[in-house]
Amino acid sequence: MKSATRIANLPPYLFAEIDRKIAAKRAEGVDVISLGIGDPVEPTPAHIIEAMSKEINDPVNHRYPSYFGLPEFRAAISRWYKRRFDVDLDPDTQVLPLVGSKEGIAHIHIAYVDPGDVVLVPDPGYPVYNSGTILAGGESHFMPLLAENNFLPDLGAIPADVAAKAKLMFLNYPNNPTSAIVAEGFFAEVVAFAKENEIVVAHDFPYSEITYDGYEAPSFLATPGALDVGVEFHSLSKTYNMTGWRIGWVAGSEEVIEAVGRVKSNIDSGIFNAIQKAGIVALEGPQDIIDDMIVIYARRRELVMSLLGKLGLKARSPQAAIYVWIEVPQGHTSASFAQLILDKAGVVVSPGSAYGPAGEGYIRISLTTPDDRLKEAVDRIAEAI
C-alpha cells in the first residue's frame, strides 16, 4: 500500500517517540524518570472534578455537542479575556472552543494554507506548527529563535519573497521550548508586519497563567490592531492541570474564527458538554490552584537551576512556562547529550533539535515531575555527567 506523500514527509510525533523510548528502557528494567513531556502530575482541582461528576449524570450532556461550543462556555471565555487582559470579544463570533488547542493549531492550516504557500514557523517550536504545514502541502519557513535575540524571531530577516508567499505566522510566548517571554513592543511589530504582508497571525498562549517573580504575560489580542490580523490559542490544560480533559479555544479575528470553525465542523466534533460545563467552573471558580502550581514550579525551577550551576551547564532561569532550556556541553549534540542522560542516568529529556534546526545545541527539561522524582533525576544526572 502506498500512503500519501504528505504522510511520508511527516516526522514521527516527538512525544510519541519519547513514549516509545521510555517503554523500551522500562522493558529493560530501568527505573526511567521522564523530564521530557510537559504534563502536570498534580490533579485537576476538586471543584472542577465535582462539577464534571454532576454533569456527567445529566443525559442532556450525552448527546452530540455543538461544533461551536456551548454559548455559556463561549461567554465564560469572553469574560475571562475581559477580566484577564481587558480584551473585548464577541462570544458568538470571536471565540471558538476546541478539543484542546492542538486540534485547532492543526486545523488552522487547512483553512489558510494551499499547496506551495509558506507558513512562518518559530524554530525551535511546538511541533504541530510544522506538521500542520506539511499536512496542508505548505512549506515552513523557520524563523530562528536565538539566544542573542532573546528567543524572538527577527522579522527583518524574513526575505521579502518569503513574506509575500506567507499565509500564516505562528508565535508562542511564554515560549515552549525555550520558556522565553515576549519583549515589549514586539507584538506591535508583528501586527504591522502581518498587515503589510497580509498574513494571519496565530499566537499560541497556553502558558499565559504560569509566570514567576511578578511577571505578567501579555495577550497578543490586547495589541492594537491584533483583532484585524489574528487569533490566540489557549487551553485549560496547563492552567488547571487538565491536559487529559481536552479543552481549549481559539479567539480573535471574526474572519479567522469563522474559517477555522468551518474546517472544524466538517471534520471534527465539539467538546463533550459536561467538560465544557466543568470548564466554566474552572474559569470562574476559585483561582488559587494557579498560585499553588506556580509555587511548585518555581521550587522545581530552583532545584534544576542549582544543579546546572554545579555542573557548569548554562540556562536562563525561566520567568514563565514550565521548561528549562539548557545548552549542551561542548562536544555534544542535542541528541547525543539526551542519549547520554538516558543511558547513564535513566532520565528522559527532550533533545532541542526535535523542536527544529535552531534547537540544536539544547535540551529541554520539563518541571512537571513530582519533586522527589525530579530531585532524584537531578542527582542521577549530576552523578552521570
Ligand X SMILES: Cc1ncc(COP(=O)(O)O)c(C=O)c1O
Residues of span 303-362 touching ligand X by CB under 6 A:
none
Taking CB under 6 A as the binding criterion, the range among 131-139, 235-243, 347-355, 377-385 that sits at the site for ligand X is 235-243
123 binds ligand X (CB under 6 A): no
From candidates 44, 61, 140, 172, binder to ligand X by CB under 6 A: 172
Q: How many residues bind ligand X (CB under 6 A)?
A: 13
Considering only residues 80, 85, 112, 126, which one is a binding residue for ligand X as defined by CB under 6 A?
126
Which CB sits closer to ligand X, 102 or 264?
102
Quick one: which of 78, 101, 239, 353 contacts ligand X (CB under 6 A)?
101
The window from 95-103, 151-159, 181-189, 223-231 that contacts ligand X (CB under 6 A) reads 95-103
d(CA 126, CA 206): 11
DSSP, collapsed to helix, strand or coil, labels residue 324 as strand
Phi-psi region of 116 (alpha: psi -120 to 50; beta: other; left: phi over 0): left
In this complex, which beta carbon is closest to ligand X, that of residue 36 or of residue 38? 38
132 touches ligand X by CB under 6 A? no
Query: Cβ-closest residue to ligand X?
Result: 235
Residue for cell digits 535575540?
A: 149
Pick from 94, 197, 235, 334 the residue near ligand X by CB under 6 A.
235
Stretch that binds ligand X, among 57-65, 98-106, 216-224, 365-373 (CB under 6 A): 98-106
Q: Give min distance, CB of 5 to ligand X, in A.
A: 26
For position 109 contacting ligand X by CB under 6 A, the verdict is no
Q: Which is nearer to ligand X, 142 or 163 (CB)?
A: 142
Give SS3 for 134.
helix
Radius of gyration, alpha carbons of the chain: 21
248 exposure class (CB count in 10 Å sphere: 0-12, 13-18, 19+): buried
| Residue 102 interacting with ligand X (CB under 6 A) | yes
Residues in Cβ contact with 360 at an 8 Å cutoff, skipping those fewer than 6 apart: 333, 334, 352, 353
What distance in Å separates the CA atoms of residue 339 and residue 341, rounded to the nearest whole number?
5
Grouping H, G, I as helix, E, B as strand and the rest as coil, residue 329 is: coil
Contacts of 141 (CB under 8 A, 6+ apart): 118, 119, 120, 121, 158, 162, 166
Q: Which amino acid is at 138?
A: G
Q: Judged by CB under 6 A, does residue 176 bind ligand X?
A: yes
Whole-number minimum distance, CB 237 to ligand X, in Å?
A: 3
For the CB of residue 271, give the shortest distance to ligand X in the complex, in Å.
11
**In the complex, what is the shortest distance from the CB of residue 205 to ligand X, in angstroms, rounded to a whole number?**
8
What is the helix, strand, coil percentage profile of the chain, to 5? 50, 15, 35
Helix (H, G, I), strand (E, B) or coil at 33: strand
Whether the Cβ atoms of residue 305 and residue 367 lie closer than 8 Å to each other: no
Q: Which of residues 5-44 bind ligand X (CB under 6 A)?
A: 38
Minimum distance, C-beta of residue 172 to ligand X, in the bound complex (Å): 5
Q: Does 248 bind ligand X (CB under 6 A)?
A: yes
**Rounded distance between C-alpha atoms, residue 191 and residue 172, angstroms:** 15
Q: Measure the CA–CA gap between 244 and 200, rounded to whole angstroms.
A: 29
Q: How far is the CB of 217 from ligand X (least distance, A)?
A: 13
**112 versus 205: smaller Cβ distance to ligand X:** 205
204 touching ligand X, by CB under 6 A: yes
Residues that bind ligand X (CB under 6 A): 38, 100-102, 126, 172, 176, 204, 206, 235, 237, 243, 248
